[in-house]
Structure 1
Amino acid sequence: MNKKNDQYMSQLPDNWINGYFGRGVYLILSALVSAPIYLAIEAYVRSIDVHKDEAVAAVATGCFIAGVFAGRYIAQIWSAGKRSIPNTLLIGLIILIVANISWLFFHADFPLEGRAAINLLLFWLPFVIVSLALGILIKLIRTVTQNQLQEAQTSAANSQSELQLLQSQLSPHFLFNTLNNLYGLSISQHEKIPPLLLKLSDLLRYSVYDVKETFVPLIDELAYINNYIDFEKIRIGDRLELSIDIENVVRTDIKIAPMLLIVFIENAFKHSKNTTSEKIFIEIALKTWGKMILFSLKNSYNKPKLEPANSGGLGLENVNKRLALLYPVEHVLDLQTTDDFYTVSLQLKMK
């Protein structure tokens, strides 16, 4: 309870003067708008035959400005302990303001003859209501805007934290799979281990040190992919039937999320080696077209009769989350599985 009270008090101004008038810029804006307000009120009071219309208009202008500040102060106190402002309240204030302004215009055309005091009352009452309601509305709209901005900033911070966590999982995931492969080769084909270790060193250097940014040049990512393919060529040997159609990208300003495509390529090699066929078939293509990066992959695949629940692994789950965070409405991913082939089609907007 004390924590809530402290939070509530922290949202209130240090003293009532600062709370009432707000920042100095508000006083400057009030001085600027007071002239047209004065002219409008003077024309109004003249239309209802009020004596000393200039003095009345000057007083009314001051009262209107004071009423707006008073409404702003009331709204500030009322909204200090609230997280959200009902839309119905904002709509109700708008209707109240429009209704009272409409009455003022109607009364200006049809004032009561010989009833100066009642005419002033019929002017002042809606006039005060309009000034107070306008001040409340302005403050509440500002509060709603600030709350939405704060929520957006909090959401962005949470998304950035999640993205950093996902990106930190990439290197361990890749290293785990690669070490498993090296272990199998060390038993059956130990002569391949030295060149594979050299390639692995280059791959890890990129995955650990060169992918700290949210987006990296596509040319660097393709160099990493080609290095990984060379690694798999050494590991698999003659069993591999590989078709590569990767565009020779030379521009450094085209960027992509790091280690995004490699997950699909790594899965292609991993699943293909488990096929019963003699050859491992993999087809990789990448093109740039307009503002898009077009990536496609096809690999031989034997669908097991009963797939475990986590057969997608950490890699694909990670990719889907990163795509949602980094390319929320800027990507199209299509995964297709048949009895013999697994295909990936990915379209990304260039960064």
Structure 2
Amino acid sequence: MMKKNANWPIEKISFEVVFFVTVLFLTVLHQWIASNTFGYFFSPVLFFIVVYLQAQLYQYIALPSLINKKYVQFGSITIAYLLLVVLVFSGLNRYWPNQTYHHGERKTIKFIIYYVSTCVISSIFIIFLALIRQYYQALEKRTRDQLLLNEMNTKLLHYQLNPHFFFNMFNNLYGVSLTHPERIPELILQLSNLMRYPLEKGNNAAVSIKEELEYIKTYVNIEKERSGKRCKITLNLPNDKESISHYQIAPLLLITLVENAFKHSAGSLNEWFVKLHFEVNANEFKVDISNSLPETPIKKESLGMGLSNIRKRLDLLYSEHYTFEIYQLDSEYRTILTIQLNAL
């Protein structure tokens, strides 16, 4: 993410001052030279100030209300500003009688209508330009996020096809073939499914929770074969089959958390455990994963890369519609991820 320039406020103010003075000078110069009176000089100055203040009001206050669908607030600001314009010019006509403003009641009304109409037209023009700019900014951000997401998905795919994991798994298959050869076809099929899923689903925008959990379940079954009785593994899956078939999440979003749990729980001399709990409730998907910690402290950099990638993907996909909490105790490491399922 790009860091905002520390001198940005100064540059912004400097630009506004230069812009204001330049346009004001060009606006009033011709009429002032032609009339050579203060009254004719003051009229365009006041008009420019009114339009300039309106532009600033819309840029920083009114338009954010419109973009955030606060239509009542936007309408109130617009009406209040138009009433202020009417009061200002009515007061000038009454208390500053000169050749510019003192034209009688009928001409005063025409004068006010002219300025109010100008403000309304300029408001429409400002809104039109702002909406165009917002559209192109959103389009640019969506394109940039998609490119970043594709890059992260590619890195994630390479990460999932970890040769060390499969090398260890094939060694385990060899060991099982010596003692229980009848189980080899089933284990090879599970390993095949584990390898196929990232290739077939990794580039999809979303998959059903059921598909993702089936992938997790296959991974856990293979880890059970690898760890044997050395690790106590608890896997709790949602009972609501309809919900997990209906709702969707980004593919390969959870496997890093699961893999970290197995990877960093190994090596403990005490009870070695991994607990995985998945729950769908009230349009929320909750993932609660905990594992034992070995006596040797885990290096932060070994966890940092995977968790950093997860956070980036969550930020891109779910923005503010998720929570991700990490707890590390003396003997236990725990991650809790909650996703609003209607946010993807």
* TM bracket (short chain): 0.5 to 0.7
Paired position in structure 2 for 1:290: 282
Contact 1:302 1:339 in 2 (8 A): no
1:206 correspondence with 2:197: yes
Q: Say which SS state the counterpart of residue 311 (structure 1) adopts.
A: helix
Pair 1:86–1:307, CA change in 2 (3 A): same
Pair 1:88–1:209, CA change in 2 (3 A): closer
Residue correspondences, number: 262
Question: CA separation in 1, counterparts of 2:81 and 2:231?
Answer: 76
Aligned partner (choices 180, 183, 191) of residue 167 of structure 2: 183
Aligned partner (choices 261, 270, 273) of residue 263 of structure 2: 270
Question: CA separation in 1, counterparts of 2:228 and 2:164?
Answer: 17
Question: What is the identity, as a one-letter code, of the residue corresponding to 1:87?
Answer: L
The Cα shift of 1:137 comes to 2.0
Paired position in structure 2 for 1:232: 223
Pair 1:128–1:217, CA change in 2 (3 A): same
1:258 correspondence with 2:244: no
What is the aligned-residue RMSD (CA, Å)?
Answer: 3.7
The Cα shift of 1:101 comes to 3.0
Contact 1:303 1:338 in 2 (8 A): no
Highest RCO, 1 vs 2 (Cα 8 Å, sep ≥ 6): 1
Pair 1:288–1:192, CA change in 2 (3 A): same
Q: Say which SS state the counterpart of residue 323 (structure 2) adopts.
A: strand
Q: Say which SS state the counterpart of residue 169 (structure 1) adopts.
A: helix
Question: What is the identity, as a one-letter code, of the residue corresponding to 1:220?
Answer: E
Which has the greater radius of gyration? Answer: 1
Question: CA separation in 2, counterparts of 1:89 and 1:319?
Answer: 36
Per-residue CA shift, 1:249-307, capped at 9, x if unaligned? Answer: 42221212212222111111111123233x53111111221211222112111264472
Question: What is the identity, as a one-letter code, of the residue corresponding to 1:164?
Answer: N
More helix by proportion, 1 or 2? 2
Question: CA separation in 1, counterparts of 2:59 and 2:333?
Answer: 55
The Cα shift of 1:203 comes to 1.0
Paired position in structure 2 for 1:101: 86
Per-residue CA shift, 1:164-193, capped at 9, x if unaligned? Answer: 2222222211112xx213434666884348
The Cα shift of 1:330 comes to 2.1
1:153 correspondence with 2:149: no
The Cα shift of 1:209 comes to 0.6
Question: CA separation in 2, counterparts of 1:104 and 1:268?
Answer: 71
Paired position in structure 1 for 2:303: 312
Contact 1:245 1:284 in 2 (8 A): yes
Contact 2:172 2:226 in 1 (8 A): no
Q: Unpaired runs of 5+ in structure 1?
A: 1-70, 79-84
The Cα shift of 1:93 comes to 9.4
Q: Unpaired runs of 5+ in structure 2?
A: 1-46, 63-76, 178-183
Question: CA separation in 2, counterparts of 1:100 and 1:293?
Answer: 53
Contact 1:275 1:300 in 2 (8 A): yes
Q: TM-score, normalised by structure 1?
A: 0.63
Per-residue CA shift, 1:100-141, capped at 9, x if unaligned? Answer: 5347888999xx9xxx96444433333322222321222112
Question: CA separation in 1, counterparts of 2:226 and 2:59?
Answer: 68
1:136 correspondence with 2:129: no
Question: CA separation in 2, counterparts of 1:89 and 1:344?
Answer: 42
Paired position in structure 1 for 2:57: 87
Question: CA separation in 1, counterparts of 2:293 and 2:174?
Answer: 27
Contact 1:303 1:339 in 2 (8 A): no
The percentage of aligned residue pairs carrying the same residue is 23
Question: What is the identity, as a one-letter code, of the residue corresponding to 1:348?
Answer: I
Question: What is the identity, as a one-letter code, of the residue corresponding to 1:145?
Answer: L
Paired position in structure 2 for 1:164: 150
Q: TM-score, normalised by structure 2?
A: 0.64
Aligned pairs for 1:52-131 (under 5 A) are 86-87=56-57, 97-102=82-87, 118-131=104-117
Paired position in structure 1 for 2:237: 246
Pair 1:231–1:106, CA change in 2 (3 A): same
The Cα shift of 1:320 comes to 1.0
Contact 1:192 1:235 in 2 (8 A): no
Aligned partner (choices 314, 319, 333) of residue 324 of structure 2: 333
Question: What is the identity, as a one-letter code, of the residue corresponding to 2:57?
Answer: N
Pair 1:312–1:130, CA change in 2 (3 A): same
Question: What is the identity, as a one-letter code, of the residue corresponding to 2:276?
Answer: I
Pair 1:212–1:187, CA change in 2 (3 A): closer
